[in-house]
Amino acid sequence: MLQSDHYELLDKLRFGKNSDERKEALNVLINFEYEARFDAADFLKLLADDDPVYQVYAIGAIGRQKVNAGISELKRIYASSSDTMILNELLTAFLQFETDDFLDIVVEKLKKLSRKPWVFQTRLRASGSVSDKTFILNQILIPSLRYIQIAGNATVEKTARLFLDHEDANVRWHALMVFDKLEIALKPDIVSQIKESDSSPLVRELATLLIEKRGSNAVTS
């Protein structure tokens, strides 16, 4: 059951005078988790709270402690949220579970994002000003691809392939890593083109390693 010391720390997490004080409060809360001073019902109560600080903390805690009772609610929030900070915290939690429980909703959101042209641009001119989209890439696209790398299967091939042509090299690298980690076949002409013409040396290197690793088996997709 949540006690006054829990709420005092959560208040420090929200209203701390500086980042060091907020970080210290978070560290103490995490220690509480490992000392069993929270139970699953506590995390679910905080997750349902309207306070975004409580909710973000609860998402992180459920991931760290792999609270199975929270999986359905995490999935619901992920499917309905457009808040990049919330989505990033959720993706971090999904990675900590190390299961495929969230694969369908992660792939579905990637499919929706892939239909938005600005997702494939690192910078977008909108309303007369230039908006940097790197934040979105780091908060959603790359963590999603990282999750797919550990929880995916052959069904993610079409979705991952969409991001091989992304403008951002980090996104392309992580998309190619999906094929590497999951051993999904990729047509040799696609891999060869990446190896020869990608603007990023890291992406070219990964394509080279993929060809060397699989040889003629890197085909037929």
Domain boundary among 74, 97, 120: 97
The whole domain housing 40 covers 1-97
Same domain, 203 and 147: yes
- Report the share of the chain in percent with pLDDT over 70: 88
* pLDDT over 90 at 26, yes or no: yes
Residues 105 and 203 in one domain: yes
Quickly state the pLDDT bin for 2 (edges 50, 70, 90).
Answer: very high
* pLDDT number for residue 120: 58
Q: Indicate if 44 and 116 belong to the same structural domain.
A: no
Q: Are residues 213 and 184 in the same domain?
A: yes
pLDDT: which is higher, 95 or 132: 95
139 contacts: CB under 8 Å, gap ≥ 6 = 84, 85, 87, 88
Q: Would the pLDDT of 37 be above 90?
A: yes
Among 37-41, 120-124, 157-161, the range scoring the smallest mean pLDDT is: 120-124
Q: Which is higher by pLDDT, 139 or 47?
A: 47
Going by the DSSP 8-state scheme, the letter that residue 38 receives in this structure is S
CATH number, residue 181: 1.20.930
Q: Residues near 115 by Cβ (< 8 Å), separated by ≥ 6?
A: none
Both tokens assigned to 131: 């908006």
The whole-number pLDDT of residue 134 equals: 64
pLDDT of residue 204: 97
pLDDT of residue 127: 40
pTM of structure: 0.86
- Dist. CA 148–CA 24, nearest whole Å: 32
Give the pLDDT score at 129.
Answer: 37
Q: Are both 56 and 122 inside the same structural domain?
A: no
pLDDT (mean) for 118-143: 60
Last residue of a domain, one of 70, 97, 124: 97
Q: How many domains are there within the chain? A: 2
